[in-house]
A and B are shown apart, each in its own frame.
Chain A
Amino acid sequence: MDVYKVRVEDTTSTKITAENFERDTLKSPPYYQAGKGGGEPSHFAVCPACDNPIQIIGLYKKLAHTPTPYGRHHTRGVANLADYDQESYDFCPYSNPDREPDPAARRTQARGLPEKILNLLVENFDSVIYMIEQSIGIKIGDRLAERMLLSYRDEQGHMYKAATLLNIPWIFAYMANAKSIARQRVFNNPELLEKLREALPMAAIDREGKLEGVLKPANDKDYLDVNVSFIHHRIVQIDRTINETMKMVVFTHQGRQVITLHEQLIPFATDHFLALINVPLERAYRPRQGTLVPLARQILQP
């Protein structure tokens, strides 16, 4: 892997470079440890995705096979740094070659990483919704958010095997199953609006100009059938970098037939989400925290 964090409780993911690592650790233990029996010193940190300990390889000494240092999961706990958890290791995208995870696969134990994911999701639920909105260009109203929460609860989304500390907003949407998006506002997806305008002449989506529009029927007494589903969670590895994506499908019906109106690859903007949830509370602008966080608590942590 090409990223690390220094404490299990951190919600960060930093690029592995000697400069970053020295700044974050000040070359102290348990990150810098003398080699056994006079061997070379070892460097340790924590995996940002699964909380297991990692060893930094080639931090100072240039490696034959790669000029850049990288992280590798350590096979046991590192004292005063992180415990080792086999299941988290098995399912971590940085260790697991499974790039098309089975959407139905679940962890066997909620203790540990799944509980942590659930807590982060609940306490930052307004930021989670904001991130999904930014990714898909559609605003998510409180009632739609509630329906997504109920599906996530039913699906036990935090137990999904490919759920990590880095992909919380997108896996939340992925676990929500198909949902009607009638009466939601498209605020930043002109291509979707254009396609909907062509395909759904009964929808009044151009009232607010070309770039924005509420998905509602032209006649308030009509029913607008427009739905979204997130499918195909994929993990792509290029060199030592992991990128995750899923596909957004917007669809309607003609009789019994499903008509796909729009498909779009949604890349997981992990760094943006981590930056968001690490803004100190006094500096954070979180207008929906007061409504969305209690709603998430009520449904996911009753």
Chain B
Amino acid sequence: MANSESNAEHLSNRAHVLSSNPHEHACPQCDEELLFAMRDKHHEFSLGLSIVLQCLQLAEQNGHVPRLPDEWWTQLRLRYEHAFRT
């Protein structure tokens, strides 16, 4: 269990996207997962699109973004179904 001090540290250590155009690094010929290059206070790392989609789903479920159409989620599940395991 994280104590409140380390919690505060985690919250202040926000990650930033390194490139504004991930498509430049994505291969249009293959089905590898799209990765976003990120940096926080300590290091650089990558974030897969599946994680971003999971976060978006949580945000939608908790009312932080407008509801997205069912058919939009359906199409996503056909390609990234295992990001949405229940």
| Chain A residues close to B by CB (< 8 Å) | 141-144, 147, 150-151, 177-180, 182-184, 214, 216, 220-221, 223, 225, 227, 253, 255-256
* Measured CA separation A256–B82 after assembly (Å): 22
- CB-contact partner of B82 in A142, A147, A184, A227, under 8 A: A147
In the complex, are the beta carbons of A141 and B70 less than 8 A apart?
A: no
In the complex, are the beta carbons of B78 and A179 less than 8 A apart?
A: yes
In the complex, are the beta carbons of A182 and B31 less than 8 A apart?
A: yes
Distance from A234 Cβ to chain B, minimum over Cβ atoms (Å): 24
Q: Does B5 contact A (CB under 8 A)?
A: no
In the complex, are the beta carbons of B78 and A150 less than 8 A apart?
A: no
* Measured CA separation A142–B32 after assembly (Å): 8
B 34-86 contacts with A by CB, 8 A: 70-71, 74-75, 78-79, 81-82
* Measured CA separation A118–B74 after assembly (Å): 30
In the complex, are the beta carbons of A147 and B81 less than 8 A apart?
A: yes
With a CB–CB cut-off of 8 A, which chain B residues contact A253? 71, 74-75
In the complex, are the beta carbons of A178 and B32 less than 8 A apart?
A: no
In the complex, are the beta carbons of B32 and A150 less than 8 A apart?
A: no
With a CB–CB cut-off of 8 A, which chain A residues contact B78? 178-180, 225, 227
* Measured CA separation A290–B78 after assembly (Å): 27
| Chain B residues close to A by CB (< 8 Å) | 23, 28-33, 70-71, 74-75, 78-79, 81-82
Distance from B83 Cβ to chain A, minimum over Cβ atoms (Å): 10
Least CB separation from A257: chain B residue: B71
In the complex, are the beta carbons of B31 and A184 less than 8 A apart?
A: yes
List 30 A–B pairs whose Cβ atoms lie within 8 Å, in order of A's numbering: A142-B31, A143-B30, A143-B31, A147-B81, A147-B82, A150-B81, A150-B82, A151-B81, A178-B78, A179-B78, A179-B79, A179-B81, A180-B79, A182-B31, A183-B28, A183-B29, A183-B30, A184-B31, A216-B29, A220-B23, A221-B23, A223-B75, A225-B78, A227-B78, A253-B71, A253-B74, A253-B75, A255-B71, A256-B70, A256-B71
In the complex, are the beta carbons of A144 and B71 less than 8 A apart?
A: no
Distance from A80 Cβ to chain B, minimum over Cβ atoms (Å): 46
* Measured CA separation A141–B27 after assembly (Å): 13
Distance from B68 Cβ to chain A, minimum over Cβ atoms (Å): 13
With a CB–CB cut-off of 8 A, which chain B residues contact A221? 23
Q: Is the interface of A mostly helix, strand, loop or mixed?
A: loop
Distance from B69 Cβ to chain A, minimum over Cβ atoms (Å): 8
* Measured CA separation A221–B82 after assembly (Å): 23
Distance from A249 Cβ to chain B, minimum over Cβ atoms (Å): 13
- CB-contact partner of A183 in B31, B70, B74, under 8 A: B31
Among B30, B31, B70, chain A packs the most CB atoms within 10 A around the CB of B31
- CB-contact partner of B29 in A143, A151, A214, under 8 A: A214
In the complex, are the beta carbons of A216 and B71 less than 8 A apart?
A: no
* Measured CA separation A223–B79 after assembly (Å): 11
Least CB separation from A182: chain B residue: B79
In the complex, are the beta carbons of A216 and B28 less than 8 A apart?
A: yes
* Measured CA separation A35–B39 after assembly (Å): 80
Distance from A238 Cβ to chain B, minimum over Cβ atoms (Å): 36
Q: A179-B78, A180-B79, A227-B78 are in contact. Are A141 and B31 (CB under 8 A)?
A: yes
With a CB–CB cut-off of 8 A, which chain B residues contact A144? 31
With a CB–CB cut-off of 8 A, which chain B residues contact A255? 71
Q: A184-B31, A214-B29 are in contact. Are A225 and B82 (CB under 8 A)?
A: no
* Measured CA separation A177–B81 after assembly (Å): 10
Distance from A222 Cβ to chain B, minimum over Cβ atoms (Å): 11
Least CB separation from B74: chain A residue: A253
With a CB–CB cut-off of 8 A, which chain A residues contact B81? 147, 150-151, 177, 179
